[in-house]
Chain A
Amino acid sequence: MIRILKTRLRQGHRTTKFPLELPVLPDRYRGRPVLDAAKCAEGCRDCAAACPTGAITLNGAPKLDLGRCLFCTECVDACPDGALRYSRDYRMAASRREDLVLSSGEMRLAQRMADDLYRVLGRALRLREVCAGSCNACDLDTNVLNTVGWDLSRFGIQFVASPRHADGLVVTGAISRNMHHALLETYEAVPKPRIVVAVGACAISGGPFRDSPDVLNGVEGILPVDLYVPGCPPHPLTILDGLLRLIGRIREEPALHGVTQP
Chain B
Amino acid sequence: MIKTGIYGLLRVLSWLPPLPRTCALVMVAFGVVSGVLGVLYALAQHDLKRLLAYHSVENIGIIGMGIGMGMLGGALGKPALVALGYGGALLHVLNHALFKGLLFLSAGAVIQATGTGEIDRLGGLARKTPVNAAFFLLAAISICGLPPLNGFVGEWIVYGALFEGTRSVPRLSAGVSALGVVSLALMGGLALACFVKVFGVVFLGKERTGTRVARATPGAMRAGMGVLAVLCVAIGVLPGLIVPLTGAGVQVIADLGPMEFERALPSVLAPAGRLSLLAMVFFGLIATLAVVRRGLIQKNAVALPSPVATWGCGYAAATPRMQYTASSFAWSLLSSFRALLCPERRLHAPAAVFSEAAHLESHTVDMAEQDLFAPLFRAASRVSRMIQTLSWTGEPAMERRSARASERLRPFVAVVVGATAAVRRGSIHVYVAFIAFTLLVVFAIEVWVAPGAEGHSAPISVMQGAPQ
Residues of A within 8 A of B (CB): 130, 162-164, 181-183, 185-186, 188-189, 191-193
Contact = CB atoms under 8 A, between A and B. Distances in A.
A33 B311 CA distance: 41
A192 B316 contact: no
Contacts of B302: 191-193
Nearest to B317: A181
B311 A192 contact: no
B309 interface: yes
A164 B315 contact: no
B308 interface: yes
B305 interface: yes
Contacts of A163: 311
25 contacts: A130-B314, A162-B311, A163-B311, A164-B311, A181-B314, A181-B316, A182-B313, A182-B314, A182-B315, A182-B316, A183-B314, A185-B308, A185-B309, A185-B314, A185-B316, A186-B314, A188-B305, A188-B308, A189-B308, A189-B311, A191-B302, A191-B305, A192-B303, A192-B305, A193-B302
Contacts of B311: 162-164, 189
Interface residues of B, number: 10
Rank and list the top 4 A-B pairs by shortest CB-CB distance, nearest first: A182-B314, A192-B302, A185-B314, A188-B308
Interface in B286-314: 302-303, 305, 308-309, 311, 313-314
Nearest to B316: A181
Interface in B249-263: none
B301 to A, nearest CB: 10
Contacts of A162: 311
Contacts of A182: 313-316
Nearest to A116: B301
Given A164-B311, A181-B316, A185-B309, 12 more contacts: A162-B311, A181-B314, A182-B313, A182-B316, A183-B314, A185-B308, A185-B314, A186-B314, A189-B308, A189-B311, A192-B302, A192-B305
Contacts, number: 26
Contacts of A164: 311
A183 B314 CA distance: 7
Contacts of A183: 314
Interface of B: 302-303, 305, 308-309, 311, 313-316
Contacts of B308: 185, 188-189
Q: For B303, B308, B316, which residue has the most chain A Cβ atoms within 10 angstroms?
A: B308
Nearest to A191: B302
B297 to A, nearest CB: 10
A181 B316 CA distance: 7
A162 B302 CA distance: 20
A68 to B, nearest CB: 27
B429 to A, nearest CB: 15
Contacts of A193: 302
A74 B303 CA distance: 50
B299 to A, nearest CB: 12
A183 B315 CA distance: 10
Contacts of A186: 314
A37 B308 CA distance: 51
A181 B315 CA distance: 8
A192 to B, nearest CB: 4
A186 B308 CA distance: 10
A193 B302 CA distance: 7
Contacts of B313: 182
A181 B303 CA distance: 23
Contacts of B303: 192
A163 B305 CA distance: 14
Q: For B309, B311, B316, which residue has the most chain A Cβ atoms within 10 angstroms?
A: B311
A188 B307 CA distance: 10
Nearest to A186: B314
Nearest to A192: B302
B45 to A, nearest CB: 33
A191 B314 CA distance: 15
A162 B311 CA distance: 7
A8 B302 CA distance: 46
A193 B301 CA distance: 10
A5 B302 CA distance: 48
A27 to B, nearest CB: 42
Q: For B305, B314, B315, B316, which residue has the most chain A Cβ atoms within 10 angstroms?
A: B314
Nearest to A120: B300
Nearest to A164: B311
B446 to A, nearest CB: 35
Nearest to A182: B314
Contacts of A188: 305, 308
Nearest to B303: A192
Nearest to A162: B311
A130 B311 CA distance: 14
